[in-house]
């Protein structure tokens, strides 16, 4: 880490220790060092290899349920094999040492924040390990109870053509009820917002840094590359989540 970044990390650490309310927004880069591919990194990103509208939209699922189901099963295997990295652990440590100060907002559908200890993270884009019904049907008591599904790729309703799908938010879909409102509230109230590992390409998540900045918070961005929301930052740290966050949250 160069001297300049070391000074910036020390500055941010002091602000985080003094802050009453801290908001951290994470994206796929947070889990990259745990072996989970990002979406938009050139060559390595999922969207460099696959068509997002074919694999991450309701229309794509309806046109080829098996292709989409198998792709998510493959990603789920990767998530189950992955472990929280030093960045996840640093965030969980800060929350444990300073209860009630941190609001963690994630775009990630993996469960690495939760496994590290941040079980109250606001999940904007759902949970890849969760199953739910594609639609409401008269045979199923709730969208989330898939216990009666007939096994298959994907599993389906024993009485009608309703299908089981992964519990993630696909393109063009609404975010889970109340989660974005809670995230906006936290961004509006925080003293420091730290954005980690997101390209800032997807809204409404990408708008949270602006909400925090306009409300007077100090905004810092950690990313090895430029992001679409760098303009909202008072401080930019060019580094990785596992490489820099332990120093940022060290006490
Ligand atoms: N540490 C920190 N940041 C990293 C690391 C790392 N080790 N590796 C890559 N990055 C950065 C990249 O430079 C990039 O800016 O993480 C960012 C990942 O960007 P995306 O792949 O676009 O992921 P994200 O911003 O989370 O995507 C938002 O888009 O596809 C949808 O629903 C999906 O939640 C996702 C949303």
pLDDT one digit per residue (tens) for the chain, 251 residues: 889 999 999 999 999 999 999 999 999 999 999 999 998 876 567 777 778 889 999 999 999 999 999 999 999 999 999 999 999 999 999 999 999 999 999 999 999 999 999 999 999 999 999 999 999 888 887 889 999 999 999 999 999 989 999 999 999 999 999 999 999 999 999 999 999 999 999 999 999 999 999 999 999 999 999 999 999 999 999 999 999 999 999 98
Instruction: Give distance in angstroms: CA of 159 to centre of ligand 1.
Output: 40
What distance in angstroms lies between residue 10's CA and the mean position of ligand 1's atoms?
25
Q: Which residues are near ligand 1 (CB < 6 Å)?
A: 27-29, 32-33, 38-41, 45, 107, 125, 197-199, 201-202, 223-225, 227, 240-241
What local confidence, expressed as pLDDT, does residue 140 receive?
81
Query: pLDDT tens for residues 108-152?
Result: 999 999 999 999 999 999 999 999 999 988 888 788 999 999 999
Count CB neighbours of 4 within 10 A. 10
At 161 the three-state DSSP class reads coil
H helices present in 137-228, as ranges: 179-189, 208-214
Q: Which of 212, 43, 52 is nearest to 125 (CA)?
A: 52
Task: State the distance from the centre of ligand 1 to the C-alpha of 250, rounded, in angstroms.
Answer: 24
């Amino acid at each position: 880490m160069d001297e300049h970044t070391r000074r910036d990390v020390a500055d941010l650490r002091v602000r985080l220790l003094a802050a009453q309310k801290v908001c951290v927004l994470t994206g796929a880069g947070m889990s990259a060092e745990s072996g989970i591919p990002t979406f938009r990194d050139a060559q390595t990103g999922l969207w460099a290899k696959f068509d997002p509208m074919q694999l991450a939209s309701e229309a794509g699922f309806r046109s080829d349920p098996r292709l989409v189901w198998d792709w998510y099963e493959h990603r789920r295997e990767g998530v189950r094999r992955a472990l929280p990295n030093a960045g996840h652990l640093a965030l969980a440590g800060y929350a444990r040492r300073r209860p009630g100060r941190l609001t963690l907002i994630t775009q990630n559908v993996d469960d690495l924040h939760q496994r590290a200890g941040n079980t109250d993270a606001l999940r904007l884009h759902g949970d890849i390990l969760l199953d739910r019904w594609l639609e409401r049907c008269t045979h199923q008591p709730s969208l989330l109870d898939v216990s009666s599904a007939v096994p298959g790729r994907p599993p389906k309703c024993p009485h009608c053509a309703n299908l089981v799908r992964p519990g993630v938010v696909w393109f063009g879909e609404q975010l889970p009820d109340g989660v974005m409102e809670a995230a906006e509230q936290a961004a509006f109230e925080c003293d420091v917002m730290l954005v980690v590992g997101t390209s800032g390409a997807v809204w409404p998540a990408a708008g949270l840094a602006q909400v925090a900045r306009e409300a007077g918070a100090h905004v810092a961005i950690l990313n090895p590359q430029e992001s679409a929301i760098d303009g909202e930052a008072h401080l930019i740290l060019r580094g990785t989540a596992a490489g820099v966050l332990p120093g940022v949250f060290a006490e």
